[in-house]
């Protein structure tokens, strides 16, 4: 069997696997979208492969790569079947990400396919970007978001996906150009990360660096060298953190700190793609200040709720300004970036996070403290209950306010609630809210 014959056979194998994958249940309508997409890709590949000369080794090598990639993604689709992840959360996530991931290549363009599946340990939070560069065979773009298997129901931590949405938007050339020009330009305009030489001097020699940074420098002096790629990656990470904050709000702030500090409790380590956490936190601190979230407690009338918000902000935004070394951008730089990002998101059709009103927040926190899934359900006992729309991000924010009380018991949370149970309550709340939203939109459609 020569290479071409094998590849044609492998097309049949992928097709058989694709049919096999359909034995699982997927969230409503989503199996048809990926099945049709893969059938089209297979048809295109076979159409190209069949007339190819068996001596055209370049083409055959390319087809082999394409086919291997296709079967990998089919396998990932299979793992995104219902029951493997909190689908109501994913549907809300898709509502934020889909407008951003549209490429606007053609008038009747299909929407990108965004799927979620579990894999690996704590460090596995990631988005797989299906890179179209030098790929023959992509119709609708497919993004798969990966989270740790152990955190399947931890919707409060999944707020970290707000960061990954930024990476997805970055793959669209027009978006990338806009983001570089509007969001990153102000951040790159001044400060210690203004150039690779300044950044290297700041990371490797600045005498004002905290002790743990000095230790890390001494352990691995080579890692203090910042070249163009590393600096670009770091800026992309800063931007994606702002994406997370602006799209998911307070819950992103908490998830970001919880996950990153869980694996690096010092918060000082860096890598080729990521800057030290303390720098990222400093950017988020300045962004929160710009968004006036630090002023939220003063606007609340209910003392208990005010105390909850104060405790949350103290834990996740911080009580003091960042230190000089890690505070790599000025307030004006961060403010300009945040405003540009909000404008960009609105233009794309993705809604930014706005703080909930006091009544909504109080209601959601109250439900959670009584172990009731938080959502817009009317629990008044009225003969004709009126369930209302609630932004899913407000449910997550309320969840984090209550999570803060778990570690510092104030007696207001009913006994016995764990972080895991709190997440499951929020997951149930999201599911109930999704039902309310669907019912309300159907009803609205009928009346109009």
Partner 1 sequence: MTLLSMYKRDDSRTVYRILAEEAVKHIDQPKAGAESKILFTSLTRLLERYRYDAFTYDVAPGILEVFKTRNDAQRTEYGDAGRKVSLDVIPALETAHARIYQALSKEDLLQTLKTVLAQLAASAPPDDARATEELVKARSFFVALCEALKERHT
Contacts to partner 1 by CB under 8 A: 39-41, 43-44, 47-48, 58-59, 61-62, 65, 69, 72-73, 76, 103, 105-107, 109, 120-139, 144, 146, 160, 163-164, 167-168, 170-171, 173-174, 176-177, 229, 233, 259-260, 263-264, 269-271, 273-274
Triad 295, 427, 28: Cα angle to 5° = 120
89: tokens are 């959360």
- Mark residue 432 as left, alpha or beta (left: phi above 0; alpha: psi -120 to 50; beta: remaining): alpha
How far apart are the C-alpha atoms of 249 and 264, rounded to whole Å?
A: 23
Closest CB to partner 1 among 241 and 437? 241
Which of residues 43 and 379 has its CB atom nearest to partner 1 in the complex? 43
Minimum distance from residue 267 beta carbon to partner 1 (Å): 10
- C-beta closer to partner 1: residue 307 or 348: 348
Least Å distance, CB 69 to partner 1, is 6
Q: Which residues pair with 117 in a beta bridge?
A: 146
Look at residues 230, 226, 209, 190 and name the one whose alpha carbon lies nearest to residue 337.
190
DSSP letter for 181, please.
Answer: I
Question: Measured between alpha carbons, how far is residue 401 from residues 154, 288, 298 in Å?
Answer: 15, 16, 16
CB of 441 to partner 1, least distance (A): 31
CA angle 93, 143, 178 (to 5 degrees): 80
Contact between 430 and 92 under an 8 Å Cβ cutoff? The reply is: yes
Shortest spacing between CB 317 and partner 1, in angstroms:
19
Q: Which residues of 260-270 are buried (b: 16+ CB within 10 A; e: fewer)?
A: beeeeeebbbb
- Of the pair 229, 421, the CB lying nearest partner 1 is at 229
Residue nearer to partner 1 on the CB measure, 71 or 387 = 71
Cβ proximity to partner 1: between 123 and 222 the closer is 123
Residue labelled with tokens 């988005």: 127
- Sequence-distant (≥ 6) Cβ neighbours of residue 150 within 8 angstroms: 121, 122
Question: Among residues 43 and 438, whose Cβ is nearest to partner 1?
Answer: 43
Q: Do 426 and 434 form a contact (C-beta atoms < 8 A)?
A: no
CB 404 within 8 A of CB 314: no
CB 273 within 8 A of CB 280: no
3-state class (DSSP) for residue 231: helix
Least distance (Å) from partner 1 to the CB of residue 416?
31
- Closest to partner 1 by CB, 249 vs 374, is 249
CB atoms within 10 A of CB 204: 16
Looking at the Cβ atoms of 124 and 387, the one nearer to partner 1 is 124
Tokens at residue 436, please? 């309310």
Question: Which residue carries 């599946």 as its tokens?
Answer: 117
CB of 165 to partner 1, least distance (A): 10
Give the shortest CB-240-to-partner 1 separation in angstroms: 8
- Residue 44 CB, shortest distance to partner 1, in Å, is 5
Considering the complex, what minimum distance in angstroms separates the CB of residue 250 from partner 1?
18
């Amino acid at each position: 069997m020569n290479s071409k014959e094998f590849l044609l056979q492998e097309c049949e194998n992928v097709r058989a696997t694709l049919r096999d994958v359909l034995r699982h249940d997927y969230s409503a309508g989503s199996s048809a979208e990926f099945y049709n997409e893969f059938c089209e890709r297979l048809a295109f590949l076979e159409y190209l492969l069949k007339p190819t000369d068996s001596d055209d080794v370049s083409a055959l090598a390319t087809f082999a790569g394409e086919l291997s990639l296709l079967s990998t993604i089919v396998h990932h689709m299979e793992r995104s079947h219902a029951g493997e992840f909190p689908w109501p959360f994913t549907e809300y996530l898709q509502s934020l990400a889909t407008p951003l991931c549209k490429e606007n290549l053609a008038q009747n363009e299909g929407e990108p396919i965004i799927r979620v599946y579990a894999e690996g340990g704590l460090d596995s939070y990631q988005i797989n970007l299906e890179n179209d560069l030098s790929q023959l065979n992509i119709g609708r773009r497919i993004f798969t978001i990966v989270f740790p298997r152990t955190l399947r129901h931890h919707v409060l931590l999944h707020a970290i996906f707000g960061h990954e949405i930024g990476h997805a938007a970055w793959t669209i050339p027009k978006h990338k150009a806009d983001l570089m020009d509007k969001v990153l330009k102000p951040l790159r305009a001044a400060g210690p990360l203004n150039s690779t030489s300044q950044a290297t001097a700041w990371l490797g020699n600045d005498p004002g660096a905290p002790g743990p940074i000095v230790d890390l420098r001494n352990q691995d002096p080579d890692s203090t060298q910042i070249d163009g790629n590393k600096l670009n990656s770091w800026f992309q990470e800063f931007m994606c953190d702002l994406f997370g904050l602006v799209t998911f709000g307070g819950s992103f702030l908490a998830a970001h700190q919880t996950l990153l500090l869980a694996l690096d409790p010092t918060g000082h380590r860096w890598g080729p793609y990521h800057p030290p956490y303390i720098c990222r936190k400093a950017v988020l601190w300045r962004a929160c200040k710009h968004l006036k979230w630090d002023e939220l407690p003063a606007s609340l009338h209910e003392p208990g709720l005010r105390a909850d918000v104060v405790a949350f902000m103290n834990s996740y935004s911080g009580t003091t300004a960042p230190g000089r070394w890690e505070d790599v951008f000025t307030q004006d730089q961060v403010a300009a970036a945040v405003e540009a990002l909000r404008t960009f998101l609105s233009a794309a059709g993705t809604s930014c996070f706005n703080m909930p009103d006091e009544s909504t927040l109080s209601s959601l926190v109250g439900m959670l403290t009584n172990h009731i899934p938080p959502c817009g359900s009317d629990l008044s006992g009225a003969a004709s209950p009126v369930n209302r729309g609630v932004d899913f991000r407000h449910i997550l924010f309320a969840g984090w306010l209550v999570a803060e009380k778990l570690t510092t018991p104030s007696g207001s949370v009913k006994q016995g609630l764990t972080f895991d149970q709190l997440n499951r309550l929020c997951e149930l709340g999201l599911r109930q809210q999704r039902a309310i939203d669907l019912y309300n939109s159907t009803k609205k459609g009928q009346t109009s």
